[in-house]
Structure 1
Amino acid sequence: MKKWTYLLSGILIGVLITTSGSALAAQVQSLIGKKVTGEYTVIVDSKTLTDKGAIIDSRANIPVRAFADAIGAEVKVSGKTITVTTNAGSKETSGNADSSTTNIFIGRTKQQLEDSKKVLENDMLPPTLKERAELVEEIEKLKKSGSAEALKKKEEQLASKDALIEKFNNELKQVEAALKLLQN
């Protein structure tokens, strides 16, 4: 009688595991084997990502590492889990482009680093510097005309451009430091 109880219990447990497993599998939708139906450029805070996004199964998918780098977040991959952690509120070590804890470019391939450097030097810094110069001219004109409200708005825009230029320059230093590490 005991053997029948064990056998029946084993069959019952097997049925429960099989049923719950297939129910869970129906809920989890995998992208493996799905068709890519489109490709697009991803722009984050005026930064064009070097990696393209894709339309898979009518859904937009973006490259996590490139997106995280654009927003200053850290990406860690463990098994089949990708963890993105933003550094909001934390202070980076100022002027230390060699620190692996603050350099978001360490771990990339030489080609990715060279592409990032090219984008920063050619696509990000020049237009931002040009916009800054135009703002300075507008501010000088507004100082002569005496429009305080418009002047305040333009000075805020100038401060924003200065912060963006500083950010791009810091990223450029980090890219160069990561490239230097690859050469060693």
Structure 2
Amino acid sequence: MKKSAYVLSGVLIGAVLSTTTVAMADQVKSMIGKKVAGEYTVNVNGKLLTDKAIVVDNKAHVPLRSVNDSLGGSLNINGRTIIIKTEIPKDTAIPVSNNKYLGKSKTEIETTLKILKEDVLQEALDARDRVTAEINRLKLAETPEMISFWEEQLVEHNKSIVGIQADIAEAEAALAAVK
């Protein structure tokens, strides 16, 4: 009975270890056995690195330590994490912008601009024109009690149009930055 318990526990341990190994192997995307499609020189800020980059499965793999060293950064490995730190000199600080369209693709910005100009702005302009026409009609009809309501509406439409035009300018600035 003891022998069968040992054999059974051995089989169970073997099964667990073999499935764990397969699962862990699936997590690691090894380049072993992959074909290197090309070898490229690396240019960092005008300096050619002595180490080459390779392309495997349409992905470039660059020599991280060489690139990091050429940028003046520090590279540390902590367990399975690579930590890179670089300092940006104060005179070359990247300006921070709160443009909500920065970081979007050129196509996304162009689509947004088209919608803002052709739909949103045009609808706001048309609504303002209708309100202006109503104010003019009421002036001719001499009904001043209604005119103040429509004039308030006109102010709101003008504010909305200014906001839409600001959005358009922001999107155009982001599009110019993408080009």
> What's the TM-score bracket when you normalise by the shorter of the two chains?
0.3 to 0.5
* TM-score, normalised relative to structure 2: 0.45
* TM-score, normalised relative to structure 1: 0.43
- Structure ID, larger Rg: 2
